Amino acid sequence: MSGLSRRQILAAMAAAGFSPAFYSRAALSADGKTLKVRSYADIQNLDPAFRKGAPEDDIMRNIFVGLADMTPGDVWKWKLDAASRLEQTDPTHIEFTLMDGLVWTDGHGAVTADDVKFSFERMIDPKLDAVYKGDWEALDHVEVKDEKSGTIVLKAPFPPLWNVGLVFGSGRIVSRKAVEAVGGKFDTKPPAQCGRYLLKEWQPKQRVVLARNPDWKGEAPQFDEIHVIPIEDEKTAELALEAGDIDYTWIAPSSIPRFKQTPPKGGKIAVKPSLAYVWLGMNVEAPPFDKLEVRRAVQQAIDVPSVLDAAYFGAAEPATGIIAPGLIGHREKNIYGYNPDAARELLNKAGLASGFECTIDILNKTEQVSAAQAVQANLSEVGITATIQQHDSGTFWSLGDQKSGDAWKKIQIIINRFSMQPDPSFATDWFTPEQIGVWNWERWNSPEFGELNKQAKVEQDEKKRNDMYVRMQDLMEEGGAYVFLTHGVTGIGYSDTITPALLPHGGPIFHAFKSA
């Protein structure tokens, strides 16, 4: 594939909202000591309790440590991170010892077991009301034995802890002294850091610069700096990869066949199965979607394979729920399928035989635009006129959040995608009654779902746990607020000058990237 001109790159970057100065900085950093990676969104909050999603997780993994972390490769397994010892001694006790030499920045001293206690217990503090409190909901307390060791004490066995709580963002350790000094929480300015890299600079919507931590005592990362560049649109990121201005990016699923046939000049392609889930949701409080018949009509008006053909060009399979194949709780089939005649009958029953108008809110990304247009066409066939409303990431991710304003009241249909971690609880946590107005933008209220979500987290019998998660997805579909679309597929493009460190679903561990 031929290289792109500077003019083409500038045009694409301008369309994505970047200034010409961005291009100059990216080009000047190509010195072999700087790793330039793309993130699909800018950071919004680097506090582990209040992060928004994967873009922050990717940064936090570099500037904070956890007791454990996930291992790059094709199999989900964990490894020690800040701990020299981490052992589950019985179903409700996990003992840990910190490695030597962990030091906070800004004069806050050594990382201690008390910092671990503070970091994990604040996740369940009702006064803090952490967004990710569910990752630690079985935690009772952390006992501190001495400066470097302690015991995590659980109220009940908690299988998700080893797949989610300890090894992803909710397991990052923060400094008690530093965080309490700034009022108990922070946003994009960590008051103290301890990781392979340190946050050196953040230019909103331009880049995050991570610099090697001179006080890191473990294995040194290979690159002096990592520049994390937010580019929302995959197509724009692909242009930057082809021009050599970034070293790593996720690519659009629709581009996978093309890149497989003709890889970008100086680049390589990797394809990983995705754990993420993409769905269409309906706000059950917004007329006419407050009627079950209308929601069921939409469910049966949508031809999911045609939507995926439009958005993913055959690279993604239809989903049967929010839990991907290979995980506990994956469903074999959906309850309702494409049936436009049934959809029309349901609209007639709801008194809407002549149809109605509505909106579809989406993130302004190529695949979501294509999916929304296909959904729009499907709905028009049963008399529903849908207007697509595109949003940038900053606006989109606050739409359903009641604390961010009144936009949640106007949501009717929304197409959304959530990243996943390798435990079914991380899929279901966001659709509970407690999440209404936070991440449950459909405002669907099922007490049975909420109770099952709590029970499934502590259930040790794998078969019983599986059946609980299957039932929860049945409830979602029967409630009419959801159309499951796909888990997608993760396509990764990267420079042949590097060897990326990727998790089984394609997620990056930037500090473990190497020169090829």
Residue 335 domain-assigned (yes or no): yes
pLDDT, mean over the chain: 91
Shared-domain flag, residues 481 and 384: yes
Strongest mean pLDDT among 154-168, 169-183, 310-324: 169-183
What's the confidence (pLDDT) of residue 265? Answer: 84
Classify residue 317: in a domain, yes or no.
Answer: yes
Element (H, E) at 469: helix 462-478
| Domain-located, residue 251 | no
Is the confidence at residue 309, as pLDDT, over 90?
yes
pLDDT given at position 47: 97
What would the pLDDT profile of 414-454 be if each residue is shown by its tens digit? 999 998 888 999 999 999 999 999 999 999 999 999 999 99
- The Cα-based distances of 263 to 166, 243, 249, 385, 482 in angstroms read 37, 13, 14, 40, 37
Q: Which amino acid is at 338?
A: Y
- By residue count, the chain amounts to 516
Query: Do the beta carbons of residue 237 and residue 249 sit within 8 Å?
Result: yes
Question: Do 209 and 104 belong together in one domain?
Answer: yes
Q: Which pLDDT value is given to residue 15?
A: 45
Q: What is the CA radius of gyration of the chain?
A: 23
Flag whether 462 is in a domain: yes
Question: Prior bond to 288 cis, omega within 30?
Answer: yes
* Structure confidence at residue 380 as a pLDDT band (50, 70, 90): very high
Q: Are residues 164 and 292 in the same domain?
A: no
49 — pLDDT class (breaks 50, 70, 90): very high
449 shares its domain with 505: no
The pTM is what?
A: 0.76
* In a shared domain, residues 328 and 475: yes
What pLDDT shows up at residue 355? 93
Residues 313, 349 within the same domain = yes
Same domain as 399, residue 317: yes
For residue range 243-285, list pLDDT tens digits in order.
Answer: 999 999 999 888 888 888 888 888 999 999 899 999 999 999 9
Q: Are residues 509 and 461 in the same domain?
A: no
Please report the pLDDT score of residue 5 as a whole number.
40
Domain presence at residue 286:
yes
CA 331 to chain centre: 21
Q: What is the DSSP letter of 266?
A: T
Q: What pLDDT is attached to residue 6?
A: 39
Work out the pLDDT band at 312, boundaries 50, 70, 90.
Answer: confident
Number of H helices, E strands in the chain: 15, 20
In a domain, 481, yes or no: yes
Per-residue DSSP letter, 71: P
- Are residue 290 and residue 335 in the same domain, yes or no? yes
Tell me: do 300 and 171 sit in the same domain: no
DSSP annotation of 169: G
Q: Are residues 288 and 175 located together in one domain of the fold?
A: no
Q: Which two tokens stand for residue 459?
A: 């259930």
Residue 156: inside a domain: yes
On the question of pLDDT at 27 being above 50, the answer is no
pLDDT over 70 at 375, yes or no? yes
Domain total for the chain?
A: 2
Percent of the chain at pLDDT exceeding 90:
81
478 within a domain of the structure (yes/no): yes
Query: CA–CA separation, 419 vs 414, rounded Å?
Result: 16
Euclidean distance between CA atoms 93 and 119, whole angstroms: 17
pLDDT at 32: 56
CATH code at position 469: 3.10.105.10
Task: Express as a percent the part of the chain with pLDDT over 70.
Answer: 94
Region of poorest pLDDT, from 155-164, 204-213, 222-231, 464-473: 155-164
Q: Are residues 304 and 168 in the same domain?
A: no
pLDDT tens per residue, range 79-105:
999 999 999 999 999 999 999 999 999
Q: What is the CATH number of the domain that holds 198?
A: 3.40.190.10
Which amino acid does the sequence have at 173?
Answer: I
* pLDDT score at 18: 45
Domain span at residue 356 reads: 277-487
Q: Which residues pair with 141 in a beta bridge?
A: 153
